[in-house]
Structure 1
Amino acid sequence: MPTPKTWFITGVSSGFGAALADLALEKGDKVAATFRKPEQAEEFTRKAGENSRGLVCDVTDEAQVKTVVADAIAAFGRLDVIVNNAGYGSLGSIEEVPAGEVQRQFEVNVFGPLHVLRAVLPQLREQRGGHVLNVTSIGGLKTFPGVGIYNASKFALEAIGESLAQQVKPLGIHVTNIEPSGFRTEWAGASATYAETHIEDYQSTVGENLRGIQDYSGRQPGDPVRAAQAMYDVVQQDNPPLHLPLGKAAVKGAREKFESILKEVNEYAAVGEGADYPAGE
């Protein structure tokens, strides 16, 4: 039997967060979960007696994040698994997404997880153990037309996770970037924001892709419950991966991305290497 763990999960009102919190509670683990609405937090607190604690938190508010992390530690004594799940998709052409929306996308998808990490890392360092799961996206590895702003935020979170993994490895802390493809969550529905594609030049790229995303919503092959099981299984491992693409499309997309980069690097290696001083100079 796996050793019981204490989880801190952001964005638990739906999707991956809700599925993972439910699974962890079913396994007998303790879960501190964040919500935007007080009534949702109260309902979660009643869900599993002493094992569940719902917390009201906007991840873009650093002071609020620090407070709820402190509340979780006070309630449970420790934190074993941190899940940076809260986030959303801002969709539209790079030229047409308003500057204010770009700022909001980064506040939620990048600065929010950073607030959480800064709040929890002192506890994980003191424990000399823990596991951080950053829910990024296959869009954190591979770009798509009309998803550039979202891609940028998830690329940033990928980099934070990769660097953090190197930083905390000697302390017994693990980091895994979770990279889902299309799952039946609200990512392309109620959670998303769309900037209309008014520029005709982008209709065949951005417009077509966004229409496809909207039409596909609710019919994606990915199952959030199975994704939650995969995440749960990963934190039971002694040597978990740094990257975990979830879904067949994510695995395929990751392979295609890195094979493409390797091919291009090899093709232009002589050009790149020629930019150094000659040996001995």
Structure 2
Amino acid sequence: MANVQQGGFKRVWFITGASRAIGALIAEAALADGNAVVAAGRKVGAISERLGESAALLPVELDVTNEAQAKAAVQAAIEKFGRIDVLVNNAGFGLLGAVEESADNEVRRMYDTNVFGLLNVTRAVLPIMRANRSGHVINVSSIGGYRAAAGFGVYSSTKFAVEGITEALHAELRPLGIRATVVEPGYFRTDFLDASSLVVAPEVIDDYDETSGAVRRKAMQLNHNQPGDPTRLAAAMIALVDAASPPLRLPLGTDTLAAIAAKNAYVTQETETWKQLSYSTDFAA
């Protein structure tokens, strides 16, 4: 590993989906904070164009659905910087439409990226972190990863999977000195609601007009008017990694905080209402 450059860097970050939007902003914030960044994406040229040239930056080609590419990208990171301290699984896209309107090919493609792609990269990075007995795995979920809603049901299901994976990683990795956090952004003013990040189901079923149909219309109105500031989100990621005791979950945005509170209240009320039937299913004492 003759090209290893370890000196002077606060940490080495590996960020997927780093060519634009939140991924690029996180990469910029990490570089400005004195870190080295492995910026991974499908188009290396777009990464270099966005982030420029720096001894602290390694752009790598990575389609997260390709496990061999994930391993090669991690190997390139080790050859360049000698370690990976922070993994940010950010690559992903959304699907807008009722569950019944969501086509099989689009659902499978989204799972391949949002879930199986995340697992490909995580499996490639974890041996490095385990060997060093340190590291931080950050999986980017969503407001929809805690609370599903009409119109984003299948997308939310992928983020529910990310939440479950991260909970298990938190338990498995903590004894090894490795942290795991799932970040839950609300609506931030990025291109997530554009065609570049969001697939809109072409089939429209009139019976869902008041539910998922209303969400389709609202999403178009909200596009580029979201309440969250993506630059502040990137800064929050630096604060998260710097924290002495980072959380398992980090909601970002007042809309996510409100959604979590509403769901928790609903679950508490419903559990209380049905607890006698729940109790009744144990073997009799």
Compute the TM-score of the two structures, normalised by the length of structure 2: 0.94
Distance 1:99 1:75 in 2: 40
Q: Percent identity?
A: 42
Structure 1 stretches of 4+ with a deviation exceeding 3 A read 41-46
Q: Which residue of 1 is the match for residue 3 of structure 2?
A: none
- Shift of residue 204, structure 1, vs aligned partner: 1.0
Aligned positions of 1:13-24 closer than 5 A: 13-24=19-30
Distance 1:130 1:32 in 2: 15
SS of the equivalent of 2:242 reads coil
Q: Which residue of 2 is the match for residue 111 of structure 1?
A: 116
Aligned positions of 1:168-183 closer than 5 A: 168-183=173-188
Equivalent in 188, 194, 207 of residue 213 of structure 2: 207
Task: Note if 1:224 corresponds to 2:230.
Answer: yes
Give the number of aligned pairs: 276
Amino acid across the alignment from 1:242: L
Cα RMSD of the aligned pairs, angstroms, is 1.3
CA offset digits 1:1-40 (Å, max 9, x no partner): xx81110000011121111100111111100011211312
Q: Which residue of 1 is the match for residue 56 of structure 2?
A: 51
In structure 1, stretches of 5+ residues that fail to align are none
Distance 1:178 1:17 in 2: 13
Equivalent in 34, 40, 46 of residue 34 of structure 1: 40
Task: Note if 1:264 corresponds to 2:278.
Answer: no
Distance 1:211 1:13 in 2: 28
Aligned positions of 1:86-235 closer than 5 A: 86-189=91-194, 190-235=196-241
In structure 2, stretches of 5+ residues that fail to align are 1-8
- Shift of residue 73, structure 1, vs aligned partner: 1.3
Distance 1:197 1:264 in 2: 34
Equivalent in 237, 256, 262 of residue 250 of structure 1: 256
Q: Which residue of 2 is the match for residue 238 of structure 1?
A: 244
Amino acid across the alignment from 1:90: L
| Bigger shift: residues 4-13 or 251-260 | 251-260
CA offset digits 1:166-205 (Å, max 9, x no partner): 0111001111100011001111113110013521111111
Amino acid across the alignment from 1:271: L
SS of the equivalent of 1:268 reads helix
SS of the equivalent of 1:75 reads helix
CA offset digits 1:59-78 (Å, max 9, x no partner): 01111011001111111111
Conserved? CA contact 1:162–1:242, under 8 Å? yes
Task: Note if 1:74 corresponds to 2:79.
Answer: yes
Conserved? CA contact 2:151–2:215, under 8 Å? yes
Conserved? CA contact 1:138–1:253, under 8 Å? yes
Conserved? CA contact 1:181–1:249, under 8 Å? yes
CA offset digits 1:31-56 (Å, max 9, x no partner): 001121131244468522x2100001
Compute the TM-score of the two structures, normalised by the length of structure 1: 0.95
CA distance change for structure 1 residues 66 and 44 in 2, over 3 Å: closer, same or farther? Answer: farther
Distance 1:96 1:136 in 2: 23
CA distance change for structure 1 residues 14 and 226 in 2, over 3 Å: closer, same or farther? Answer: same
CA offset digits 1:112-170 (Å, max 9, x no partner): 10001100010110010100110000100001111011000000011000111001110
CA offset digits 1:82-117 (Å, max 9, x no partner): 000000101111111110111001001000100011
